[in-house]
Structure 1
Amino acid sequence: MNAAIAPTLDDVAVLLPAYNCQADLERTLASFKEPATVHVLVVDDGSTPPVVAPAMPGLRIDVLRLTPNGGIERALAAGVEVLAARGVRYIARIDAGDLAVPNRLVMQRDWLDAHPDVGALGMRADVVTPDGTFLFKLDVPTDPARIRRVRFARSCFVHSSMMLRTQAVVDAGNYRARYRAAEDLDLFLRIMRTGACANLPQTGVYYELNPGGISATKRRTQIRSTLALQCRYFNPANPYDWIGLAKNLLHFVVPHTWLGALKRRVLRGAARAE
């Protein structure tokens, strides 16, 4: 009888941008539990003091240092360039402070191997506070056709849960700073020009709701960028595009704290109903 072949993750690398977040970085790295060595590229975006790669079992960590601090868009683009040059087939995203569920990388890599038309694959998320307290589940549509229809009417991806086909990212033009704080949506829309994006129905990440995160600190920049993308890709025959436009205009004028409280109340109510 042939011995079982041990799984490997040599075709996958985790891309993790970091800026002045050593403790959060280490918590995130420690969360990876996979049946094979996990390769990680940390992009230190001008941290002071510089990020230090911890020694952790099961992880092989490299650090790419950028100076001065230039923002997450530049950090992600630089990381993709390095990993593409190394011949990495799949790039898994996560942010410092977020935690990966066990076997997330194997699950996503195997699914992408079986679906070569999909350029980006996400998962659902449990939203937690910085101390780990559960707040609510962040659901996302799974079907590529539905994602294409509702992509502006609702959040379709958790960036920190995504696994990207490296060639699809390169073909789409990589991350860019043209739409600041919405660099992920910009990339996914360009991938969907020629391919598909999808989500798995399982939870893949514990997403930290951080008041210091981009969605909070750069909220108006993010909304402006999202509105610009909506106008660029607007399809007047799709009612969901109209809904998304109205929704983001509302976000622009209503305080973030009000909308956040309403969203948490609705999602908690939905969770209780289940």
Structure 2
Amino acid sequence: MNASTLNDVAILIPAYNGQRELERTLASFSEDGPVRVLIVDDGSTPPIVAPSIRGLDIEILRMPVNGGIERALQAGIDALAERGVRYAARIDTGDLATPQRLAKQRACLEAYPRMAALGMWTHVVSTEGAPLFDLKPPADVATIRRVMLMRSCFTHPSLMLRVAAVREAGNYRAQYRAAEDLDLLLRLMERHDCANLPEFGLYYELNESGISATKRRTQVLSTLRLQLRYFRAGNLPDWIGVAKSLAHLVLPYRALRGLKARLLP
């Protein structure tokens, strides 16, 4: 691959403390050419320091105070647009990328101009790196549209986003706390296609202190609001999705995590 191929791609990673984990995440990227990185330091104390990692051109955007991931990502997308970046590759601190992830995603987005977001399958691991289970959401656009309110069709840190489409849709926003990814994707799908590459692109660290655990009720309530907003009465998966969200409000997090591990392929 020509080294200039990824010139219009940037890794977008919000960070709040966790310098060591951030460096490990960025060091996991393995591409044939140099890659730009925008770290959005969301008020870390001490401030995040840009690591020196071969193959990565790293810039830090510092938020004045800790305002949450939604505002950090919104600022990051706007900053990338100002810099002329076309594709934003999401990842979170603690997660790891598989080799050539960015090149594969960019090639697919280039081939399908109607596509605004492209995810990949995910290995879910513990904080020690032990395998827990795999996430293999549907890959094709039609299936995703049918079941998008029933199950999580995307792993947010695996996404590559078309920056112009994200801004056209209104960017990330804080209206649906802890469900900013679903909110964005549902808006994107009103005018564009979203899909997954049916191969593994991410090692996702399941952290008990992460958003899904510590803000679970907020996340579920935001998800339920989105499900009701986009609800299609004639689509059975939408009914199932609402029922699942209601169950999430009453069942313990650990019980749900164990059930997911047993049921997912």
Alignment TM-score > 0.5, same fold = yes
1:224-250 CA distance string (max 9 Å, x none): 000000111000010000000001000
Root-mean-square deviation over aligned CA pairs: 1.0
1:71 paired residue number: 68
1:152 paired residue number: 149
**Which among 9, 21, 36 is matched to residue 24 of structure 1?**
21
1:125 counterpart = 2:137 = no
Q: Distance in 1 between matches of 2:83 and 2:45?
A: 28
1:201 counterpart = 2:201 = no
**Which among 35, 40, 43 is matched to residue 38 of structure 1?**
35
Bigger radius of gyration among the two: 1
Matches within 5 A, 1:49-60: 49-60=46-57
The 8 Å contact of residues 45 and 70 in structure 1, kept in 2 or not, is answered as: yes
1:263 paired residue number: 260
1:249 counterpart = 2:242 = no
1:187 paired residue number: 184
1:91 paired residue number: 88
Please state whether the residue corresponding to 2:6 is helix, strand or coil.
coil
1:174 paired residue number: 171
1:219 counterpart = 2:216 = yes
The 8 Å contact of residues 8 and 37 in structure 1, kept in 2 or not, is answered as: no
1:80-109 CA distance string (max 9 Å, x none): 000011111100000000000000000000
1:149-181 CA distance string (max 9 Å, x none): 101111100000000001110110000000000
Give 1:264 shift. Answer: 1.3
2:59 paired residue number: 62
Letter in 1 for 2:146: R
1:230 counterpart = 2:241 = no
Q: Which runs of 4+ in 1 moved over 6 A?
A: none
Gaps of 5+ in 1: none
Residues matched between the structures, number: 265
After superposition, the Cα gap between the structure-2 partners of 1:122 and 1:237, relative to the gap in structure 1 and judged at 3 Å, is same
Q: Distance in 2 between matches of 1:6 and 1:241?
A: 44
> What percentage of aligned pairs have identical amino acids?
62
